[in-house]
Amino acid sequence: NAGVTQTPKFQVLKTGQSMTLQCAQDMNHNSMYWYRQDPGMGLRLIYYSASEGTTDKGEVPNGYNVSRLNKREFSLRLESAAPSQTSVYFCASRNRVRTDTQYFGPGTRLTVL
Amino acid sequence: GENVEQHPSTLSVQEGDSAVIKCTYSDSASNYFPWYKQELGKRPQLIIDIRSNVGEKKDQRIAVTLNKTAKHFSLHITETQPEDSAVYFCAASVGGSYIPTFGRGTSLIVHP
């Protein structure tokens, strides 16, 4: 049982490049989330998916898109990366039925030059 | 929307002392309050949580208290140890929807 996994762990992009961050969970959770973490700013919600087939914007969605591919996988795409998107990105999942506990992935450290 | 304020941003204590981190929230409908610990370079992990129908909850050296009237909740760590050094985040959410709002974090440093 791997929990929540994310790929890649590190990535360096040039301004304007695109990339997709991958997230998968094997806990059969319904809800999945993408956060970014910047120094002194806590965890800010980018997008979330309450259940398979649905996605909604969070606090800071501009410049990002998401896809809930199936119940296990939730990807985050940067279409045209900007230096302001340099951050650590965390994926999380939650079993909405049994508990409110969120389980986080190990994070992706992204640098945009 | 919900707004969560967390204080202090940095807390330095000696090993064995107690540490208290405080959070306030704005939405009176919030009813679930988790606390996460994040060690350097690691992911956030839940350490304790409390629901609005409970005033206090303890788990060994950590405890959380909730004052619904004043809309604030606190994390208490007793007999601190160097391995307690980490960033601690509070969060608040309305049950059912569960879109938590996080505080900005407190960096706890425990000196041996």
Q: What residues of B are in contact with residue A44 (Cβ under 8 Å)?
A: 102
Tally of residues, chain A? 113
Q: What residues of A are in contact with residue B90 (Cβ under 8 Å)?
A: none
Using the beta-carbon criterion (under 8 Å), do B43 and A44 form an inter-chain contact? no
**pLDDT on residue B26:** 94
Mean pLDDT of all residues in chain B?
Answer: 94
**pLDDT on residue B90:** 97
Give the helix/strand (H/E) hosting B12.
Answer: strand B10-14
Residue A98 has pLDDT above 60, yes or no: no
Over residues B52-56, the mean pLDDT reads: 87
Residue A106 has pLDDT above 70, yes or no: yes
Q: Is the Cβ–Cβ distance between A81 and A15 less than 8 Å? A: yes
> Nearest CB to A42: which of B43, B98, B105?
B105
**pLDDT confidence bin for A39, thresholds 50/70/90:** confident
- In a 10 Å sphere around its CB, with 0-12 CB exposed, 13-18 middle and 19+ buried, how is residue A54 labelled? exposed
**pLDDT confidence bin for A40, thresholds 50/70/90:** confident
Q: What residues of B are in contact with residue A48 (Cβ under 8 Å)?
A: 99
Q: Which residue has the higher pLDDT, B11 or A69?
A: B11
Residue B38 has pLDDT above 80, yes or no: yes
Residue that the structure tokens 């986080």 belong to: A104
**pLDDT on residue A23:** 98
- In a 10 Å sphere around its CB, with 0-12 CB exposed, 13-18 middle and 19+ buried, how is residue B46 labelled? middle
Q: Is the Cβ–Cβ distance between B21 and B11 less than 8 Å? A: yes
> Nearest CB to B43: which of A41, A45, A90?
A90
> Nearest CB to B44: which of A41, A48, A104?
A104
CA gap B81, B55 in Å, rounded: 26
Strands A74-78 and A19-25 come out as antiparallel
Q: The tokens of B35 are what?
A: 């606390």
Residue A97 has pLDDT above 70, yes or no: no
Q: What residues of B are in contact with residue A97 (Cβ under 8 Å)?
A: none
Strands B10-14 and B106-111 come out as parallel
C-alpha distances in Å from residue A27, one per residue of A75, A95, B47: 17, 8, 19
**pLDDT on residue B40:** 93
Using the beta-carbon criterion (under 8 Å), do A43 and B89 form an inter-chain contact? yes
